[in-house]
């Protein structure tokens, strides 16, 4: 295949070059340059999608050295879906940031965003355990920089905490990778899977890797760094972090779990992960219900939603391939719906805070009359998060429910239903505040229409996903390393 036509290198080169360019050119040129970059990224993602659906999974040998000596990149259905997801959500957040941030802030935002985007694409495409580590490092620094960038004292503290948690996670992951390398002499995921050997070394390695990735994904009870970081960042950054950044470590976890067939050898670990997920759903939902600041509600909702994704792990059971497939599809759909819904919800919440000028829930009084479009965007995202039909969130939970029935693990059904009630409660609680009327004078600021439309667009996306769920599900079922390793 002609290498010049492959979009894979461009998915990495454009954001990296974008980062360099937006650091060098004068402030006024940074936004136009970035807009060009965003469109080429969208185009490259679509071209990749076309190639993968028509010609099957794509492989790319970096520097023309074949793995395990060199580093290979892989674009299977799963990776391509994630490329498309991150391109759409990141573009929306980038346009939002362009309208939302001042020129000064924007100038620093662009290079950080481009590094973030490069690392995300790098992680989706990676097929090498050490390359994944480097991707995670790049992602961590870009994300921490973006959190710190609000530059008030609280966000600085949150970003330092986030940095420590993320670095601890990276260290654990790296230690695990080093052990795997020592035991098997390779870093490439495909050759690791081929020569996998369940000895003590690999067990310790897997434990370290899982621990590190769980910390980075903020799975309960390792979630405490997330709410202040996601809730305290600037609005477009919060959306990027919740929608995309935590998905990166989750994605790596999932790939390890399936491709190295951990589910088959450590079934008790699956149940443990499920229990953590259940804890996240209940605790995150409960905490979201008790917050007094709007963005903290949304941030705790992320903690709960991560729990739903984690429920996928106990449902991947070796005995029932049908239940496993349903769980895999449900989990991925959950993740996808959450990316759109949570980005939409954070942006809508940011608009509301911009209107009232205050971050707390009480000052939302009267908002549903003043900003109906924005409340509608918040509500649509809420519908998907609650799992009401028709939405991506509903279909995802339906698949997970079916999978629980089929594998006879009824206890997860209880968790799913309880979680739904909690999500409904915290979303409606926000609504209740917006319907209150006050006698106070209106001194609201009006956000730009584009800000509201972008939030609405993302929320509508999460609902639309309910109608076109077949399409991403077909995509992840394309032949590839993950499908081969599923039971």
State which H helix or E strand residue 79 sits in: helix 77-100
Taking Cα atoms as reference points, which of 323, 162, 152, 273 lies closest to residue 227? Answer: 162
Min CB(281)–other proteins separation in Å = 27
SS3 61: strand
Give phi and psi for 73, each to the nearest 5: -115, 150
Min CB(5)–other proteins separation in Å = 9
Tell me if 149 sits within 8 A of 109, measured CB to CB: yes
* Contacts with 373 (C-beta within 8 Å, 6 or more apart), sequence order: 452, 456
The answer to whether 68 contacts other proteins (rule: CB under 8 A) is yes
Tell me if 147 sits within 8 A of 271, measured CB to CB: no
SS3 128: strand
- Answer for which of 32, 199, 357, 372 binds other proteins (CB under 8 A) is 199
**Binding segment toward other proteins, per CB under 8 A, in 151-159, 310-318, 340-348, 443-451:** 151-159
Min CB(19)–other proteins separation in Å = 7
Q: Which is nearer to other proteins, 135 or 331 (CB)?
A: 135
Tell me if 211 sits within 8 A of 172, measured CB to CB: yes
Other beta carbons within 10 angstroms of residue 221's beta carbon come to 11
Instruction: Give the footprint of other proteins on residues 119-138 (CB under 8 A).
Output: 119, 122, 130-131, 134-135, 137-138
Min CB(291)–other proteins separation in Å = 25
The answer to whether 71 contacts other proteins (rule: CB under 8 A) is yes
Residues 12-51 as x/- pattern, contact with other proteins by CB under 8 A: xx--xx-xx--xx-xx------------------------
- Answer for which of 46, 105, 190, 267 binds other proteins (CB under 8 A) is 105
Min CB(153)–other proteins separation in Å = 8
Tell me if 220 sits within 8 A of 280, measured CB to CB: yes
The DSSP output letter for 445 is P
Q: Which is nearer to other proteins, 204 or 373 (CB)?
A: 204
State which H helix or E strand residue 148 sits in: helix 129-148
The DSSP line for 167-203 is HHHHHHHHHHHHHHHHHHS--BHHHHHHT---SHHHH
**Binding segment toward other proteins, per CB under 8 A, in 67-75, 409-417, 422-430, 462-470:** 67-75
The answer to whether 234 contacts other proteins (rule: CB under 8 A) is no
Which residues here bind other proteins, judged by CB under 8 A? 2-4, 9, 12-13, 16-17, 19-20, 23-24, 26-27, 60-65, 68-71, 102-105, 107-108, 111-112, 115, 118-119, 122, 130-131, 134-135, 137-138, 141-142, 144-145, 148-149, 151-152, 156, 175, 179, 182-186, 191, 195, 197, 199-201, 203-205, 207-208
């Amino acid at each position: 295949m002609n290498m010049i036509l492959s979009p894979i290198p461009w998915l990495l080169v454009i954001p990296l070059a974008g980062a360099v360019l937006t650091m060098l050119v004068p402030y006024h040129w940074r936004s136009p340059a970035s807009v060009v970059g965003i469109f080429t990224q969208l185009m490259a993602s679509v071209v990749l999608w076309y190639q993968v659906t028509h010609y099957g999974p794509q492989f790319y040998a970096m520097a023309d050295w074949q793995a395990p000596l060199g580093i290979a990149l892989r674009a299977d259905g799963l990776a391509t879906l994630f490329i498309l997801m991150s391109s759409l959500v990141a573009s929306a957040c980038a346009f939002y940031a362009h309208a939302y941030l001042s020129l000064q802030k924007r100038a620093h935002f662009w290079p950080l965003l481009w590094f973030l985007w490069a690392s995300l694409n790098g992680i989706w495409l990676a097929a090498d355990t050490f390359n994944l580590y480097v991707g995670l490092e790049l992602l961590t620094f870009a994300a921490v920089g973006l959190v710190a960038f609000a530059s008030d004292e609280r966000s600085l503290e949150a970003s330092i905490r986030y940095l420590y948690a993320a670095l601890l996670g990276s260290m654990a992951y790296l230690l695990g990778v080093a052990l795997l390398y020592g035991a098997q002499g390779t870093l490439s995921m495909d050759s690791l899977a081929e020569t996998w050997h369940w000895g003590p070394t690999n067990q310790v390695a897997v434990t370290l890797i899982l621990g590190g990735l769980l910390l980075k994904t903020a799975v309960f009870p390792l979630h405490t760094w997330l709410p202040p970081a996601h809730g305290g960042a600037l609005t477009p950054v919060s959306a990027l972090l919740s929608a995309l950044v935590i998905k990166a470590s989750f994605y790596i976890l999932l790939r390890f779990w399936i491709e190295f067939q951990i589910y088959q050898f450590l079934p008790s670990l699956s149940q443990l992960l499920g229990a953590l997920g259940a804890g996240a759903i209940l605790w995150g939902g409960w905490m979201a219900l008790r917050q007094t600041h709007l963005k903290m509600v949304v941030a705790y909702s992320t903690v709960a939603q991560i729990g739903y994704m984690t429920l996928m792990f106990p449902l991947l059971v070796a005995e029932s391939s049908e239940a496993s497939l349903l769980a895999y599809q449900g989990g991925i759909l959950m993740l996808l719906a959450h990316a759109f819904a949570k980005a939409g919800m954070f942006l809508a919440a940011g608009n509301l805070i911009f209107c009232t000028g205050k971050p707390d829930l009480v000052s939302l009084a009267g908002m549903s009359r003043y900003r109906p479009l924005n409340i509608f965007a918040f509500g649509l995202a809420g519908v998907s998060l609650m799992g009401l039909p028709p939405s991506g969130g509903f279909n995802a939970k339906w698949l997970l429910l079916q999978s629980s029935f089929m594998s006879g693990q009824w206890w997860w059904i209880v968790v799913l239903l309880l979680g739904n009630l909690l999500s409904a409660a915290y979303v409606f609680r926000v609504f209740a505040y917006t319907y209150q009327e006050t006698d106070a004078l209106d001194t609201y600021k009006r956000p730009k229409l584009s800000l509201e439309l972008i939030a609405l667009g993302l929320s509508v996306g999460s609902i639309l996903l309910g109608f076109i769920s077949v399409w991403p599900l077909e995509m992840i079922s394309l032949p590839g390393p993950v499908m081969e390793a599923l039971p």
